[in-house]
Structure formats: structure tokens, C-alpha cells
Amino acid sequence: MNKATLAGGCFWCIEAAYQQLRGVQQAVSGYLGGDSAHPSYQQVCSGSSGHVEAVEICFDPAIIDYSSLLRVFFTLHDPTTLNRQGNDIGPQYASVIFYHDDAQQQLAQVVLAELAPHYASPIVTRLQAASAFYPAEDYHQGYFTQHGHEPYCQMIVAPKLAKFRQQFADKLKA
């Protein structure tokens, strides 16, 4: 299994999408990029911890490749808004690709260059070496699956997932 770690706003949406892809064994919501060990949701939400909400994805590269994971990532959020996704505002909602090795870094640079002309504004997604990943509290894991009926999930997460399912129907689990 390989690992990909991506941050694109609220982790509930990112996690929900990746859990549906063939070849993804696990998608875990969590935090990374900050200075403190084992931050809490409250610390991250304060915007002062330096961490972002992210999802760590364990995937089988024989079934789904890293490039495909990145293309999915760019359908799930707006990579042209700095520290913001819709109504979620703050540095904890930054768009970041955390690479785990040189090959991932290089491939991310290629995908960013390929996608840039398709956006009216510049892509602000950062590339950053992966650091310690801290899983979020249990109540965040599988949040959309458990709380999809709640207003935030219906208004924000569900439309993103519908777009994702339409674009990547050929990569979804049966």
C-alpha cells in the first residue's frame, strides 16, 4: 500500500469521496503541518496551531494511481482560494498536497501544471513534505456516512460528492 495525504478544506468531504474509490483501503481524517503534537479539533479550528484538516489515504497503486487521486482531489475543492473553502475560512482549510517522496512531489507538480490552465484564477495549492499525521477525533471519522442527513452535509458535502461520482464513476467501488 502507498500513502497520499491531501488537505482541501473540511476533511469530511475529502474523506467521504476517497472511501468510495476502488483501490483505496482507508481514508482517515486528521491534522498535519503544525508544530504541536496531537492537536485537538478545537486547537486546529482556532487557526493558530499551524495544522490543516487533511485526509491520509492508503491506496493500492496497482488499482488506482497517485495521479488519479490528485485529479479527484481537484474536483472536491476550489484550489484557487487561499485558506478558504466556501464558508470555511482560516489557515486550517488551506489546499495542500503533502508528498511522501520525490516521485509524489514531481507528479504533483506535473498535475498542477496540467490543471492550471483550466482555472480562471491561479491555483494556490501548496506542495509540502508530509510531516506527522494525527488522526482526528473518532466522531470525525466517516462523518458523512453517519451524518449525511445534517444540513451542512446536505448543502456542502453532498453536492461535491455528486459531482465527484459523476466524473469518476468508472473508479468507484461496486
Please confirm, yes or no, whether 58 is among the known catalytic residues: no
Of residues 10, 13, 45, 58, which has the active-site annotation? 10
CA distance 33 to 37: 10
Torsion-angle region of 38 (φ positive above 0: left; ψ -120 to 50: alpha; else: beta)? left
Length of the chain: 174
**Which amino acid makes up residue 157?**
V
Active site residues: 10
